Structure 1
Amino acid sequence: MIDQLFKKKPILLLFILFPLLCGSIMVPETDFLKDSKVTPGKLEFVRDSVRFEVTGTIPIESALSPRNPKVAILLKSSENSMFFDDIELTKNVADYSYNESIVLAYEPWMEGAFLEVQFFQGKKAQVEPYQRKILARGIITTPLLAKVGKVNPDEPIPQVGLFIPTGATDVDLSRSREFLIKFDAGSSAIKMTSGNSQVIADLKSFLTENSAVLSFKITGVQSPENAEGSSSKLGMDRAEAVKDLLKQSNISVRDSLLEVNSRWNDWFDFRLLLREYEKLSTQRKDQYYAVLLNESDYQSQTLALRKISGFNQVASDLFPSLRVAKIEVVAKPLPGLNQSQSLILQKALEQSSANSELDMADWAIAGETTPRLEDKAKIYSKMTELFRSVIPYNNLAVVKMRMAQRTLDQETKELLWKEANNLLYQAAKIDTNPYVLHNQGQIMVLQGKTWDAYKKLSDASVLTRNEDFLKYNESLRGALDIMRGDYKLATLRFDYDYTEAKDFFNKGLAYYLSKDFANASLSFEESVMAGRNYGYGFYGLAMIAAESGQAEVALLQLDRAIHASELLYQKALVDPIFEEIRSTDEFFQIFRPSESSSKD
């Protein structure tokens, strides 16, 4: 019967099926989150927090409109997540609208998180959202790149803390000395006469007392006598002979400090001898100097000298002293105590006596010039028993700080920081000192107490105008300005002549965040020049290139940065600054290991 009905009236069948066809095929599914957005478009860390606003509407479309709709926001990474499901919706004529402002205290896990908005239809049994939309990936944490002394894997350990200096290492103690090895006329063979043997002994003694050699020059000299030859070969042979003699005498000099040459057809050495020659009157010497200083060529000077009365006698007396090789040494004693003082120091360290034959200056110099932290700790610890002074307490605290830098164990690190803080507290009770305040601030920075640290560093800057101190204190203060969001102020902190790559990088970071890309680029380039293996300068240049849409340049600089630092490698993978180039094959190509490294 029904079949007959449909046959007679096929239009009836179409009428019944039409709504079903429309529901499953023809009616498009509503995109309830199509105009959801976040402001700013890329999430950013600013002044220890992340602030953003999520807005959007849910359309009301007659029978298809949801009942009791709900919108939630999810911030999620592989490590953690935060869920906001109490978003207030306002019902309007054609839609539901929402506008939610969120402020989050920044936590490290957030850097690689994504921000997602979720739509629920309002059904009680619904657990999974009906629709999802990712609004942002990652968080721009550029201010946290500021270098403040924290230790990162595969990077050099940053030097933290400031010792109170004695000034002993700044005094110029260099001294120069000349030694002459004599030769027979026309010969480059060294005869170990008593005179030459004494010269070698004197040289050894000088180097023992002044073992920090600054320069070492050997110059073969020839007298103007005919027997000395007509070329400079003899002089060079003499210089090389002396070089060999030094090796045989166990006098070693670094190649970078050693200079070997010769002089020939030159009255320079004769002029030096003439100065000490006592057989001539001042008036007659002036005749010689008039010739020797007239800047004529050698032959012209020779002819002029021979015309001076008595020249042959002068030549007879002085020429033999020009058959030599000169050893000219500039050196200084190693900083620190001499041998006898060192013995007294060692004895004092081994005893429990509260007295010492050395004064405080000697102890302070010993501590300053000792290279090993363990030895510094012994000296400064003993000094706290012998002297009531800020120096040993402050400097022992710095030793503890630098020991903390060397350990990866957080519990040990915290213990060393605690010991350092106790020592600095004792130093502060003795006297108010900028070095003590700086070191207290530096520990606070490493502990993450940046706001308290800033107050300490600011107080330290007020107490002194010492340029060397301010150079370090203000650079750390400027790095904190960057982290605190005071970018313009940070640029003013770096008005010093820096040499370290980290300081140039921090300076560039301050300019970059202030949108002064020209000065930022210059500072990042200076960072690269100061340390080509320090990848942060390259990372800064990559950020500037990405900001200006120079994708190829950004990739080139980023390639150099990530191969210098594992931390930068990981950061580049999630940094929203490079979001526009992250979808390209060229971006991921730079992260692939080279064929040579993959074979290894």
Structure 2
Amino acid sequence: MNMVKKYIAFFILCTTIASYSCNVVQVKKKADNQKIYLDPNNLERLGDSVRFDLTVILPNAMLLRNETYALFPYFKYDNETYFFEKKLRVKGDTLDVYSSVKLTESYTMPFVNGMENGSLYAKGEVSNNQGVRQYETEEVLVSTGIITTASLSQIGQYRGQEQYPVLGLWIEPYQQETVGMLSKNNFKDLKDAFSSYSGIPFTAKAPFLKVLEGPGDWTYKLKKLKALPSFGKVQREVLNPFVQKAVRAPWDGEGISDLQLSILSRSIRKGQVPADTLSENDYIRAVDMEPGWNEKEEILRAMVEVYPSAFAFNNLGFVFANKANRTRNTKDKNQLLENALFAFNRSNAIFENPYAVYNLGIVFWLWEDKFSAYNSFYRAFTLTEFDEIKKVHQAALGAVSIFNGDYRLAVIHLNNAEKSPVNLFNQGLANVLSGDYYNATIQFENSAIQNMSNGFPFYGLAIIAARNGEETKLYENLKKAITRNQFLRDRAAADYEFAAYHNKEGFKEVIR
């Protein structure tokens, strides 16, 4: 009898093992039939990150009620692997055995250099209620490469041009829109003059003083002052005389000669004579006379010691920022940007102005901090009513909006910017990325007409041709682009905008 029981037990055990093995085989077979989709079809850099939706479709009756399926995505690049915390997960007891199941999840990963040539993979896993893994699918290649076209947006950074672009806003003295920038005829002087003015009651002065003490350049302050009672009287008797004095440049022949100025400024730079040997007007002339960045820096360093002003600190920061853009050594570049940051903050500490605030945005842009750059450019835009400066701010806002993936906002900003070759290229780039190839073509062609030596608009036209499958136009425009710019030649060889053509002889011949 005991022997019969043993046979029965052995039979049940064998049946269970066979049943389990059969189920595992079925799970494996069905799990291998999982379908994984990416939205958008290609990974794309937006700002400082890569964002995408991942979808997996599982066959019906793939899981038992006590089983769980999970999909693990990960990204491999340069011998590194980025693992996503979120998993696509579903339990068998929540499914209809007669229907397939569709799972979707949104993912974000920070973009770092080298990722553009990496690949997204995924692996599925089935486990029981105790979390014990029963089966793992094969590694699935979901997508290769990251499109970084938005990073082509420009605010004058050096990218293989014939000459280094000049970045930022330089303050010109003796202009009505820059009234108050110098240490003489500054807003403190105006406030002092207004405080002693007896043409209106003391209580009526408070709103005027509040505006003068607040942020913004002269055009910004003047707009606010115009809304105050008694403005007409104050303008005639206080403001106009101040402005006329502030914008009156030194007469020709006044002061020392150019030769004497050159000798004295050189002596000051060498520390041989005191910095206060020159007047503020002399320093302004001396800076204009020197073509070199190092010489300008030395003169402005001396100037801020004896004539600290929003003008001097902004222009000193401007020099630091442009020297940084010309420096390859990372440590030296960061130090120059730190110096620029300090100088612009000192300029704004005297009074917040649209020049130094904009230039802070340039520093953040060069530091790859596009969020802070946008905030600075937008703040600068609100601090002026001077149309020419506002156009510069609009152009910068458009460029950063492209990088951050807000292409429609970029187009709005760039529509209000100056129609320069760089801005027209940026506008075309925004149109391409938003799918408006017709207007993109127009902007790229207009950019090329203004500067035929610039390869970027032709590169944009090549991207449009690649997306439209126009192989002849692609090769024609790409050749024009890369013969004009080495940066674009190096980029094209690995640009995933041209991934479908990389192995074609025509493409290889163009970039060879």
Match of 1:502 in 2: 422
How far apart are 1:415 and its partner, in Å? Answer: 0.9
Letter in 2 for 1:75: F
Q: Distance in 2 between matches of 1:52 and 1:497?
A: 34
Deviation readout 1:355-396 (Å, 9 max, x if unpaired): 33x432232122023101111112111211221322221111
Q: Does 1:417 align with 2:337?
A: yes
Partner of residue 136, structure 1:
143
- 1-structure distance, mates of 2:504, 2:427: 31
Q: Go from structure 1 to structure 2 and tell me whether the alpha carbon gap of 1:512 and 1:445 turns closer, same or farther (over 3 Å shift).
A: same
**Structure 2 counterpart of 1:100:** 105
Does the residue aligned with 2:89 lie in a helix, a strand or coil?
A: coil
For 1:506 and 1:406, the matched residues in 2 are separated by 22
Aligned to 2:167: 160
Aligned to 1:311: none
User: 2:45 matched to which residue of 1?
Assistant: 45
Aligned length: 397
Q: Offset of 1:428 from its aligned partner?
A: 1.8
- In the TM superposition, residue 442 of structure 1 has moved relative to its aligned partner by 0.9
1:113 corresponds to 2:99:
no
Q: Distance in 1 between matches of 2:274 and 2:36?
A: 77
Q: Tell me the CA shift for residue 508 of structure 1.
A: 1.4
Q: Does 383-392 or 91-100 show the bigger shift?
A: 91-100
| Residues 116-125 or 501-510, more deviating | 116-125
Bigger shift: residues 405-414 or 29-38: 29-38
Cα offset, 1:89, TM superposition: 3.2
Cα deviation 1:477-534 (Å, max 9, x = unaligned): 21112123332232233334444x3332112112223333222212212332344343
Describe the superposition over 1:117-160 as per-residue Cα deviations: whole angstroms up to 9, x where unpaired: 33457699999964233222222222221113444467743321
After the TM superposition, which of the residue ranges 537-546 and 580-589 deviates more from structure 2? 580-589
Larger radius of gyration: 1
C-alpha contact (below 8 Å) 1:390/1:427 kept by paired residues: yes
| CA displacement 1:338-362 (0-9 Å, x = unmatched) | 3344344445555442533x43223
Match of 1:76 in 2: 76
Query: Residues 561 and 81 of structure 1: is their aligned pair in 2 closer, same or farther, counting only changes over 3 Å?
Result: farther
Distance 1:48 1:407, change over 3 A: closer
1:87 paired to 2:94: no
- 1:510-561 Cα shifts (integer Å, max 9, x gaps): 2223333222212212332344343221111112222333222123222333
| Structure 1 runs not aligned, ≥5 long | 1-27, 169-332, 594-600
**What are the Cα deviations for residues 61-81 of structure 1, in whole angstroms up to 9, with x where unaligned?**
899xxx876532232223532
CA distance in 2, matches of 1:97, 1:347: 77
Mapped pair 1:486 → 2:406: yes
1:573 shift after superposition: 4.1
AA at the equivalent of 2:365? V
2 CA distance for matches of 1:563 and 1:128? 54
Cα deviation, 1:562-596, whole Å, max 9, x if unaligned, reads 444444345434444334434533233323x3xxx
Looking at structure 2, the residues matched to 544 and 460 of structure 1 have their Cα atoms a distance apart, in angstroms, of: 34
* In 1, Cα distance between equivalents of 2:118 and 2:282: 57
Match in the other structure for 1:554: 474
Give the Cα–Cα distance (whole angstroms) in 1 for the partners of residues 488 and 33 of structure 2. 35
Q: Secondary structure of the equivalent of 1:448?
A: coil
C-alpha contact (below 8 Å) 1:73/1:117 kept by paired residues: yes
1:414 shift after superposition = 1.0
The answer to whether the aligner puts 1:363 opposite 2:283 as a matched pair is yes
| Shift, 1:167, TM fit | 6.0
User: Is the 1:404–1:412 Cα contact (8 Å) retained in structure 2?
Assistant: yes
Alignment pair present for 1:395 and 2:402: no
**Whole-Å Cα distance in 1 between the matches of residues 61 and 369 of structure 2?**
53
1:69 to 1:517, Cα distance in 2 relative to 1, 3 A = closer
- 1:489/1:512 CA distance change after superposition, 3 Å: same
**Using the alignment, how far apart are the partners of 2:456 and 2:474 within structure 1?**
13
**Identical pairs, percent:** 27
Amino acid at match of 1:411: K
| CA distance in 2: counterparts of 1:52 and 1:455, whole angstroms | 26
What is the rounded CA distance, in whole Å, between the counterparts of 2:275 and 2:425 in structure 1? 48
How far apart in 2 are the matches of 1:121 and 1:77?
27
Out of 397-406 and 454-463, give the one that drifted further: 454-463
**Does 2:382 match 1:462?**
yes
CA distance in 2, matches of 1:102, 1:62: 25
SS of equivalent residue, structure 2 residue 139: strand
- Separation in 2, partners of 1:480, 1:523: 18
What residue number does 2:348 align with?
428
Unmatched runs of 5 consecutive residues or more in structure 2 = 1-27, 176-252
Measure how far apart 1:42 and its partner are: 1.8
Q: 1:54 to 1:477 in 2, by over 3 A?
A: closer
Distance 2:134 2:157 in 1: 43
